[in-house]
Every structure is written in C-alpha cells, then in structure tokens.
Amino acid sequence: MLIDLNKLTPQQVYFTLIQTVIPRPIAWVLSENEGGSYNLAPFSYFNAVCSDPPLVMISIGRKPDGAFKDTKINIEERPDFVIHIVDEDTLDDMNASSATLPYGASELAEVGLETTAIDDFPLPRLKRVKVAFACTRHQVLQLGGSPQSIVFGEVKKVFVEDSVVGEDAKGRAKILADKIRPVGRMGASEYLSFGEIIRKARPA
C-alpha cells in the first residue's frame, strides 16, 4: 500500500500521520488562564528539539470552529507553562482532561487534580506526575494551511520524582524509564503502555 498524501484532504493526512508516526510522547500542558485559573490539555505532536538552549516543541491545532485553542492563547499572553509526561497511572486523568470546556474553565477542577509548587517558578505542576518540565515561551510560529501553532518552550527546570531515579554502573544518576512507565499516543483512541526495554550498543 502506497499512500499519496497529495490526494488526501488535510483531515485524511492527519489521520494517516497519527497512525504511522508512532508511538508519540504526550505533552500534558498546564497553562494559566486570563483569570488566574489553570488550563490543562494533552498534545501528542510534541518532542525535544534543541539542547542549547534546551527547547521542546508542541504543535497545537485549532478548535473545530477554527478558533485558537486555550493553551496557545495562554502561552502567547503569559509565557510560562508546565509540561507533564503522561504515565500509566495518570492516563485516565489525562484522557478526562481532554474534554472541551469553555475558555477560563479549569480542567483541574473538573477532573479533581491537585497541584504542588515548583521552586522558583511561577506555575505549579501536577502532584501525581513523575516527570514535569517548567517552561517559558521561546517562540510561537504559525505553520501550514490550517494552520498549526508551533510552540517552542525553553525548559528552565525538570522535576523528576525521586522514586524513578537510580544509578548507572559508574554511580551516576540515571532516570529509570521502567519506573516512569510513560504512555505513548497511537492513532484514534489508542495508546501504548510501557513495554520491554531493548538495549543496543552503538557501533564503535
């Protein structure tokens, strides 16, 4: 089967890409609404893209009516936001937080999620997560015909729960993916739970 994307509608292209670019990490993004409440929304067009400065990227589409999504509006108006890594323990809460609410309504209140402070950062993180990135807006671009909002965030701090940190053979701190048990996004309503770790040494 060979799929010619030039012959597909943007919606068909979207469904093709999300079913073939797999698995994708999920950015569970906390941002601040205009009235001071917190918005929480998941995005799976997400990854780390630069180390100097440390940048992550989130691609945010539009609402069905063409309006900008709350996360994009919030980050453009207030630069700080927090990205959480979704794991098996928080998957149901993440899914619940993806419901469409009026602007200014807080998914945290709807789902019943608690937050806790991040030292020297204006916004809190979710209390139950194992990994969180405290970010500040670096740049927002509009890309494509629809278009997508490409948000680049500079990572200022990384929270890692102590229970998922171990040591390697040289005594250095090592973050243990099998303790985090991250969840990957597949196509449609499908997710991938954490499985076997496969280790391959790079050729000399």
In this structure, what CATH number is given to the domain that contains residue 180?
Answer: 2.30.110.10
The Cα–Cα gap between 62 and 126 comes to 25
The H or E element spanning position 191 is strand 191-192
Q: Report the domain count for the chain.
A: 1
pLDDT tens digits, 28-58: 999 999 989 999 999 999 999 999 999 999 9
Domain that holds residue 162: 24-192
pTM: 0.93
Residue 92 lies in a domain: yes
The Cα–Cα gap between 103 and 73 comes to 10
The Cα–Cα gap between 146 and 60 comes to 11
φ/ψ (deg, to 5) at 30: -100, 125
Residue 62 lies in a domain: yes
Residue 197 lies in a domain: no
* Contact indicator for 81, 31 with CB cutoff of 8 Å: yes
Report the SS3 class of residue 15. helix
Residue 202 lies in a domain: no
Which residues sit opposite 100 in a β-bridge?
Answer: none
Residue 152 lies in a domain: yes
Write out the chain's pLDDT in tens, 204 residues. 999 999 999 889 999 999 999 999 999 999 999 989 999 999 999 999 999 999 999 999 988 888 899 999 999 999 999 999 999 999 999 999 988 888 777 888 889 999 999 999 999 999 999 999 999 999 999 998 878 999 999 999 999 999 999 998 899 999 999 999 999 999 888 999 998 888 888 897
Which residue is it, tokens 């499908």?
A: 190
Where helices occur in the chain by DSSP H, the ranges are 10-20, 70-77, 91-96, 107-111, 177-180
Residue 6 lies in a domain: no
Report the SS3 class of residue 169. coil
Residue 39 lies in a domain: yes
Report the SS3 class of residue 128. coil
pLDDT tens digits, 55-73: 999 999 988 888 899 999 9
